[in-house]
Amino acid sequence: MRNYSALHDTIRYLKKNKGAMLGLLLIVAFILMAIFAPHIAPHSPIEQSLKNNLKPGIWANNPTNILGTDEFGRDLLSRIIYGARISLSVGFIAVFIGMLLGGTAGIIAGFFGGKIDEIIMRIVDIMFSLPSILLAIVIVAILGRGLDKAMIAIGITYAPQIARIIRAETLVVKNTEYVEGAKAIGSSSIRTMLVHVLPNVMSPIIVYATLSTGSAILDAAALGFLGLGAQPPTAEWGAMLASSFHSITGGYWWVETFPGIAIALTVLGFNLFGDGLRDSLDPKLRI
C-alpha cells in the first residue's frame, strides 16, 4: 500500500476538480502571456498612431490589429497582452504585501494573546470598518498616484482579513502538543512561531491568497479606472477601460469589451482555482 503525503492528496483532489483545473489553465495562460509579452504582442503597446484610431479588428477585415485599436490608434491586443504583466504583478505583489503585514500581525496576536492581541485586533477592527476600496483610495491619496503606491494600498487593505484568519488558526495550533513540546524544550517564541506554528497555519492562507489575488487584480483595475493606479501611457486593464469609456456611446464597443473580458477571465481563473484549492486542502469538505 502506497503512502500518500498530504501534498499528493491535495493534488489528487485538485486534479479531479474540473473547475479548479480550468482556473489553473487560465492563470497559467495569463502568466505565460505576461512573461512572453514582448514576443507575442504584434505591436508596441504604447506607440500611437492617431490616423488609425478606433479601427475595428479582425471582424472588419483588419488583420493588422486583430482586436482593433483604441482612441490613440494603439493596438488593443498588444495592450491587453502587456496589461497582463501589470495586472498579474499587481495582484501577486499586493497580496504578498498583505500577507506579510497581516500574517505577522495575526501570528503575533494569536501567539502572545493578552494585551498585544487586544491592541492588534482592535486596529484590525478599525480597518475593517472602512470599505476596502475606499481605504485603498485614502491610502493612495496619502501616498500619491502610481502603480507602486496602488500595490501598497491594496496590500494594506488585504492585511486585516489575513491577520484575522491567521490569528484564529494560530489560536488552535498554539495549544497543540507539539507546540507545547517545543516550548517545553526551550524553543524561543520566534523560533516556535516560525518553525512550528507558521507551517501549520499555511493552508488557509494559501487558499485566501489565491482568492485574494483575483480581487486584488480587480481592485487594481478599479484604482486604475479612477486614475489612481497605473498612469498613462502604461497599458493597464482598468486604466484602459477608463480612458476609452467615452467611446462606447459612439459605437466603438471593442475598446471597452476586450480589456473587460481580460479582467473577468483572470479573476475567474483565480477564483475557480482558489475554490478548488480550498476544497482539497480542507479535509472537512472531503467525503
What residue ranges bind another protein (CB under 8 A)? 46-48, 50-51, 53-54, 71-73, 227, 231-233, 243, 245-252
CB of 222 to another protein, least distance (A): 16
Could you give the dihedral angle defined by the CA atoms of residues 28, 32, 33 and 36, in that order, rounded to the nearest 10 degrees? 180
Nearer to another protein, 74 or 167 (CB): 74
**Across the strands, what pairs with 69?**
75
- Of 258, 212, 264, 209, nearest to 235 by C-alpha is 258
Nearer to another protein, 144 or 186 (CB): 144
CB of 249 to another protein, least distance (A): 5
Nearer to another protein, 171 or 248 (CB): 248
CB of 46 to another protein, least distance (A): 7
The CA-based angle 136-137-140, given to 5 degrees, is: 85
Cα separation, 100 vs 278, whole angstroms: 21
Cell match 500581525: residue? 105
Nearer to another protein, 181 or 250 (CB): 250
CB of 34 to another protein, least distance (A): 23
Nearer to another protein, 201 or 235 (CB): 235
Cα separation, 27 vs 270, whole angstroms: 7
Instruction: Extract long-range pairs of 111-114: CB within 8 Å, 24+ residues apart.
Output: 111/170, 111/174, 111/189, 111/192, 111/193, 111/197, 112/189
Q: Three cell numbers at 31?
A: 502568466
CB of 241 to another protein, least distance (A): 13
For 62, the 3-state DSSP assignment is coil
Nearer to another protein, 20 or 54 (CB): 54
CB of 231 to another protein, least distance (A): 6
